Amino acid sequence: MFSSLRKLAPKVLLVLASLTLLSACSANRLAYNNLDWLIGWKTGEYLSLTGAQKDWLASRTSQHLAWHCSSELPRYEPLLGDLQSSLYDKALDAQMLLSGQPRVEAAVDRLLTEIAPTIAQLLGQLDDEQVLELRDNLADKHVELEEKYLSPDMTTQHRERIERAEERLEDWLGPLDEEQRARLALWAAALQGHNQVWLENRKVWQEAFLRALESRGDPDFEERVRSLLIERKRYWTPQFQRVAEFNREQGTHLIVDLMQMANDRQKARLAKRFEDLRGDIQALQCADA
């Protein structure tokens, strides 16, 4: 069953991340990033679990898989259908796209709420050596991200931001034309300095997480972990709050403009990607649960 988590988790993240991209809800990427490294324990990238801890986690995983299949999968396809209808609506505007974002956010929160007790109880089982390993690996990852996103000069950061966004968008629309690339460049220019703000906020959240981890024997530890996962906006810096809201609006207008510029070939590719995503949802089966 532990292998099922390895197979299921990336697909769940793919579906939620895809919905986030298409609804332009960029603020929730913080939640995905946190969930991604928490799931990353399975590979030993951040934390080495003992055999007993892996066995315990496997038994809990089967419950989460059953919950996900029975409660969440039925919600994904209608959400996807509504999003597709909005994108193809000739009257599409920013408000129409924004109106669907709370449903995506709710899907993220339900997933985090479901797994939060398991995460907290697993953390409660860690010994001091494992906590030190986790702390060191998180610090190393932060340095790695700083080198990747902050070391380049601002011109390079701007170019790389465009390249990353264009790659994600072309996965859904195919090659962008010159008008669309120009619109993408305007969007990227508006986000100058975002990397710094994002990484600073990421560090603030992780410091709060590590402080909670030091008190993992306290009666309120599970509630503190739940708060870190579900009430994540409580841990946002004021600057990140402003940037997140600004980016959400900018991303929404970008998607609206790109769809208005889209040609028939791009719309056909988008329809095919929706079909593929529906196939991914249908393939999220919990045969071992």
pLDDT in tens, 94-146: 888 888 888 888 888 888 899 899 999 999 999 999 999 999 999 999 999 99
Indicate whether 287 belongs to any domain: no
The predicted structure's pLDDT at residue 47? 86
pLDDT over 90 at 44, yes or no: no
The predicted structure's pLDDT at residue 79? 84
More confident residue, 51 or 74: 51
Closest CA to 173 of 50, 74, 112, 258: 258
More confident residue, 62 or 148: 148
Closest CA to 119 of 38, 23, 227: 38
* Residues belonging to the chain: 289
User: Under a CB-based contact definition with an 8 Å cutoff, are residues 91 and 119 in contact?
Assistant: no
The residue whose two tokens read 């994904």 is 76
Indicate whether 288 belongs to any domain: no
% pLDDT > 70, the chain: 82
Indicate whether 123 belongs to any domain: yes
Range of the domain at 140: 2-282
More confident residue, 271 or 285: 271
The predicted structure's pLDDT at residue 192? 64
Indicate whether 289 belongs to any domain: no
Tell me how many domains the chain contains: 1
pLDDT in tens, 251-273: 889 999 999 999 999 999 999 98
Indicate whether 139 belongs to any domain: yes
pLDDT over 70 at 23, yes or no: no
Closest CA to 58 of 134, 129, 122: 122
pLDDT in tens, 151-194: 999 899 989 999 999 998 998 999 999 999 999 999 999 886 78
pLDDT over 90 at 221, yes or no: yes
Indicate whether 21 belongs to any domain: yes
The angle subtended at Cα 255 by Cα 284 and Cα 8, nearest 5°, is 15
The angle subtended at Cα 188 by Cα 186 and Cα 190, nearest 5°, is 75
